[in-house]
Amino acid sequence: MSDILVGIDWGASQATTVAVDVLSGDHRIFRHEGGLYPRTGYTVFIQRFVALLRDIYAVFPEEEIKTLNLSVGLAGFNWPSQEEGLSSLLQSALPATAAPLQLVNDTELGLFLDPRVDWGISLSCGTGVNCRGKLRDGTKARIIGCGRHFDEYGSGRDIVNKGIAAASKQWQKIGPATSITERLLRFCDEKDVANLIERLSTTEIKVPASFAEEIIHCAETGDEVAANIVDWIVEQQLRMLDIVGAQVSNTEKEIPVTLIGSLLQRSAFIQQQWNDLLAKNDHRYDTQFAMQEPVLGAILMTDKSRELHPTALSKLKTACKIVV
């Protein structure tokens, strides 16, 4: 019988799960479809969660588990009023041997990736954008975390929206030519720009946030329109950081900041833009692009993780290492 640690980073697009046997150190990483539960609905949400558990039990049989210790970083979990209902829903799918689960917003996972500090800020930019902080006294800080309706930008979706707008301006002859238009045509399997714009405007086709990679590549290859979009997005990301930074401290000279999410962890170009922007501005941040996937933070946030052998923990960190 073994204690099993399970950490889940449930994002807007993908759910990444790490399961590790505390005694042996044996671990597995799983990838499943995520999604914001307010949009997918509770039924689909719990179905995906149960499918995830089945994959874990296929490796770590349920009858051989002494205690299942589960921690979840959940996109869409934004307010304390949601906690009781969500915790009860997830706990109901767990076996009787499961310990009470720990639930945080997925952005908060970044706060656990640097064991040297117990305060600071985590900025997450991927499909969406969010920023969370923790003061020295444990008080939490945040932006709203709900996107453009609250004047919060910095996500892959925001890059895509800007790219679509740039293509539409080119078509209307009120904006410069951009290679983004050609990439949209190829992606949407269209040959005519007018048809492309019509289908986009009627939402007949939807361009996913992952298309942001194409726009970033346009910027890398010298497209001025795309470069301006990337410059704007990085400025917006820094603005989100400043909002939370003001809540965390107005006196600290260096606030620890962990940068997570696909845009910040997997795009060398975005990272360079960040470094250039920080070099130009006075700031109070000690920033680091997290070297491991945020799901590792879901493991490290549990007290049980302290029982992992150092060698097992080292192997787990290597397995979760980000490859740019």
**CATH code of the domain covering residue 258:** 3.30.420.40
Rounded Cα–Cα distance for residues 30 and 110 (Å): 19
Nearest to 152 by CA among 241, 278, 221: 241
Residues 53 and 100 in one domain: yes
Residue 72 lies in a domain: yes
Residue 64 lies in a domain: yes
pTM, rounded to two decimals: 0.92
Q: How many domains does the chain have?
A: 2
pLDDT tens per residue across all 324 residues of the chain = 889 999 999 998 899 999 999 999 999 999 999 988 888 888 999 999 999 999 999 999 999 999 999 999 999 999 999 999 999 999 999 998 899 999 999 999 999 998 778 899 999 999 999 999 999 999 999 999 999 999 999 999 999 999 999 999 999 999 999 999 999 999 999 999 999 999 999 988 999 999 999 999 999 999 999 999 999 999 999 999 999 999 998 888 899 999 999 999 999 999 999 999 988 887 889 999 999 999 999 999 988 999 999 999 999 999 999 876
- CB contact at 8 A, 98 and 91: yes
Residue 196 lies in a domain: no
Residues 75 and 159 in one domain: no
Nearest to 112 by CA among 305, 318, 323: 305
Residue 188 lies in a domain: no
Residue 145 lies in a domain: yes
Residues 217 and 125 in one domain: yes
Residue 324 lies in a domain: no
